[in-house]
Amino acid sequence: GAGVSQSPSNKVTEKGKDVELRCDPISGHTALYWYRQSLGQGLEFLIYFQGNSAPDKSGLPSDRFSAERTGGSVSTLTIQRTQQEDSAVYLCASKAFQETQYFGPGTRLLVL
């Protein structure tokens, strides 16, 4: 079946602009995670959804970052007023109950 998909695969934006990153999880997976992979920080957790609610937002680096999930499926990660330090690969993963996380290919974000 289809895996986790993310769009766009690459995004170049100017400092100060807002960006939206999309994640389509595997059908039926109730849990969804966003991570960020950057040269300086490695792989770090951002936010976790169970259904449409986000019980753990502890990894969001600032209030410029937000995420939502609708219909227990698609999730959008929004970064407002982007900064150069936001440049990274943003990874989405989904999982079924007591199973392992499956990762999408990521969105490579470059802020100029």
Partner 1 sequence: GNSVTQMEGPVTLSEEAFLTINCTYTATGYPSLFWYVQYPGEGLQLLLKATKADDKGSNKGFEATYRKETTSFHLEKGSVQVSDSAVYFCAIEDFGNEKLTFGTGTRLTIIP
Residue closer to partner 1 by CB (options 80, 101) is 101
Strands 102-103 and 10-13: unpaired
Size of the site for partner 1 (CB under 8 A): 22
- Cis (ω within 30 of 0) for the bond into 8? yes
* Selected binder of partner 1 within 2, 42, 63, 71 (CB under 8 A): 42
Alpha-carbon gap, residue 59 to 45, rounded angstroms: 5
How far apart are the C-alpha atoms of 25 and 94, rounded to whole Å? 6
**Smallest separation (angstroms) from partner 1 to the CB of 64:** 21
Nearest to 25 by CA among 10, 5, 7, 45: 5
CB of 101 to partner 1, least distance (A): 6
Distance, C-alpha 108 to centroid of its chain:
11
Residue in 91, 107, 109, 111 binding partner 1, rule: CB under 8 A = 91
Residue where the block lists tokens 């802020």: 111
**Does the protein bind partner 1 through residue 65 (CB under 8 A)?**
no
Considering the complex, what minimum distance in angstroms separates the CB of residue 77 from partner 1?
15
Chain positions contacting partner 1, by CB under 8 A: 31, 33, 35, 42-45, 48, 50, 55-56, 59, 91, 93, 95, 100-106
